[in-house]
Amino acid sequence: MMSQAELTALVGRRFPGGHYTIEHWENFLLTDCTGREPMTGDLAHPMMLFHVPILGAGTTIAELFALGQVEGAGSVGLEGYDWEYFQPLREGVEYRCEGGIESAERHTTESGTTYDAVSFRIELTDAEGAAVARITNYWRFRR
């Protein structure tokens, strides 16, 4: 299990950062998977915020699992997420994605189960530096 010191040290850790451009084909496929009609024009489906910020910030789900020192989806639970849109997401626009770990705390339930609650935030900006979206995800790493 991750030590308390290792857990505490996660707070403030920054992801490498980078850029992401939503391609038409991926917007089409994601929209199709949700059973919805394609968005009009170059609008991207709002569900893009599940993967675009993580990949754009230069990390992956596997790397986030490794940070939490867990293996496999059964070890991680999504406690929640907060998505803020300041502008619509669009196909063909290059977004700058930056963020990192915001909080990391160890908890023990009444039944004695231990888990680590970790949140990370990633911000998307356009080429002019204007805020487009911000995600904050809250994960639970089961011990």
pLDDT digits (tens, 9 = 90+) for 100-138: 999 999 999 999 999 999 999 999 999 999 999 999 999
Residue type (1 letter), 8: T
Looking at residue 143, its pLDDT comes to: 86
Q: What is the pLDDT of residue 72?
A: 73
pLDDT at position 65 over 80: yes
Dihedral pair phi/psi, residue 75, rounded to 5°:
-95, -5
Domains and CATH numbers, the chain: 4-142 (3.10.129.10)
As a whole number of Å, the end-to-end CA separation of the chain is 7
Rounded to the nearest 5°, which phi and psi values hold at 139?
-110, 155
Give yes or no for residue 38 having a pLDDT over 90: no
* CA gap 39, 24 in Å, rounded: 11
pTM for the complete prediction? 0.92
The pLDDT score that the predictor gives to residue 74 is: 79
